[in-house]
């Protein structure tokens, strides 16, 4: 069965949905995320929906529920990269996904969760990437 990979980057789980979600796949994904939170003791989940062209009310509800479930397990979910067309359809349907954290791209999402990319100098010290704000502004 087709499944969506849930990647772990430090304390953050990264879920990038690169295919259209049908109902069973969505339910399946919800399970995967929750088990992965327990197994990896992740504190945050980034769900990237940049590639999704259709988000119907069922998928929206699954996403909303997953956020609540994760929060009960003390993990914060940020939804990333919703397309304009998808956004407008959801607003028109009155699905405003209350309580869901969102970000414009993955980097902004990480930043929102309190993490950011660092460069590691040769002496082992982390240096804040000045490029980050540039990319957040879309100048990269």
Give the binding site for another protein (CB under 8 A): 79-84, 87-88, 90-91, 96-97, 100-105, 108-109, 111-112, 114, 116, 133, 135-139
Minimum distance from CB of 45 to another protein (Å)?
Answer: 15
Q: Which is nearer to another protein, 26 or 46 (CB)?
A: 46
Helices 57-72 & 84-93 angle (0-180, nearest 10): 90
Buried residues in 105-122 as b, exposed as e (16+ CB within 10 A): ebbbbbbbbebeeeeeee
Q: Which residues does 89 contact at the CB level (< 8 Å), separation at least 6?
A: 55
Q: Which is nearer to another protein, 31 or 99 (CB)?
A: 99
Minimum distance from CB of 104 to another protein (Å)?
Answer: 4
């Amino acid at each position: 069965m087709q499944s969506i990979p849930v990647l772990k980057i430090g304390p953050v789980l990264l879920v990038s949905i690169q295919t259209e979600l049908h109902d069973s796949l969505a339910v399946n994904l919800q399970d995967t995320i929750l088990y992965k939170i327990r197994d990896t003791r992740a504190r945050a989940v980034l769900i990237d929906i940049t590639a999704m062209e259709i988000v119907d009310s069922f998928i929206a509800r699954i996403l909303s529920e997953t956020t609540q479930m994760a929060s009960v397990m003390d993990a914060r979910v940020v939804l990333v990269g919703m397309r304009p067309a998808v956004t407008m359809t959801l607003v028109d349907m009155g699905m405003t996904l209350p309580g869901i954290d969102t970000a414009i791209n993955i980097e902004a999402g990480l930043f929102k969760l309190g993490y950011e990319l660092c460069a590691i100098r040769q002496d082992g010290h982390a240096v804040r990437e000045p490029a980050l704000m540039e990319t957040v502004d879309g100048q990269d």
